[in-house]
Structure formats: C-alpha cells, structure tokens
Amino acid sequence: MLDAKVAELLNTQINKEFYSAYLYLDFSNYYVEQGLDGFANWYRIQAQEERDHAMLMLQYLQNNGCKVTLDAIDKPDKVFAKYDDPLHAGYEHEQYVTGLIHTIYDAAHEVKDYRTMQFLDWFVKEQGEEETNAEGLIKKYELFGSDARALYMLDNELAGRVYSAPSLVL
C-alpha cells in the first residue's frame, strides 16, 4: 500500500497531466488557426504524450490498490499575440511540471518508497527531455522564425513528428 501523501500527490498529478494535454491541444488549435500545421502537429503529439503520462500514473495507483479521483480539468486561458508565445508558455509549463514530479519524488523518498521512486525515475528523465525539446523549439524559432521561408521549413520539419507511445513497464 502506498503512503497516503504519495498517493494523493500522484492522483493530483494525474489531473495536472490531463490539464497539460488540454493546454497543448489549445496550443495546437492556435497554430491551426495561424496556418502553421507543423507546429499544430507538434503540440497535438505533445498532448497525446501528456495524456499517456496521466494514464501511466493512473494505472500505477490502481496497481497499488489506490482509489483514483478525477477532477474537472481547467480550461486553458492563455492568449497569444505572437507565434512564439505558445513556445515560451510550453517551456514554462514543462518547468512547472518538473517541479511537481520532483515534489512527488521527494515525498516518496521521505517515506522510503523505493518502488514509487523507481517508477518516477522515468518521469524525471522524461521531464528533462521535455524541457530540452521545449527550449530547443524556442531556439529554432528564434533562429528562423523571422524569415517566412525558414519558418515554412521549420513548420514542415515539425509536421514530420510522429507519435510514439511511452515504453514504461508498470
């Protein structure tokens, strides 16, 4: 049986991951409206990944006999004025999620819940990748976004991103 605080934090994180999926779908919708289908694709796949993260945590809690409570998902409220606004918001959001994962890890460590720590190791690594990808996207946009042809090429590059389900075994 999981420690009650650890289980509660994981349950809260499930809902945060679903919010992340909503947020990235909102980013995707923005880019569709702007005619940047590659950027839209990149964030649509990002939303799928966030949903998968939530489902992995949900399954982990269920596998450990814990009740899962799904809360209402907040509506994303970001307003964008420039093409790179979602990129910066996404990077900030990934940093926020990294902090949340670290908080859960700290709580598991505090009660010597090594199994949950091992489960969270994948998410810690994943968050490092998420932050790197988000920051890299900002850098690419800063290099190429002011030139219409280069932006077109970057958009085409992002259109090539394909979804890959996580390989974490519970």
How far is C-alpha 75 from the geometric centre of its chain's CA atoms? 16
User: CA angle, corner 102, sides to 54 and 136, nearest 5?
Assistant: 75
Which band of pLDDT confidence, cut at 50, 70 and 90, is reported for residue 166? confident
Which band of pLDDT confidence, cut at 50, 70 and 90, is reported for residue 164? confident
Please classify residue 97 by burial: count the beta carbons closer than 10 Å to its beta carbon, then call 0-12 exposed, 13-18 middle and 19+ buried. buried
Q: Give me the DSSP letters along 21-42.
A: HHHHHHHHHHHHHHT-HHHHHH
According to the model, what pLDDT value does residue 100 have?
98
Residues 84-127 have pLDDT tens digits of 999 999 999 999 999 999 999 999 999 999 999 999 999 999 99
According to the model, what pLDDT value does residue 28 have?
98
Which has more pLDDT, 49 or 144? 49
**Domains in the chain and their CATH numbers?**
4-159 (1.20.1260.10)
The Cα–Cα gap between 170 and 148 comes to: 45
Q: How many CA atoms lie within 13 A of 153 on its CB side?
A: 9
Element spanning 76, H or E: none
According to the model, what pLDDT value does residue 169 have?
60
Residues 49-73 have pLDDT tens digits of 999 999 999 999 999 999 999 999 9
pTM: 0.93
Residues 18-37 have pLDDT tens digits of 999 999 999 999 999 999 99
| Both structure tokens of 114 | 């090594």
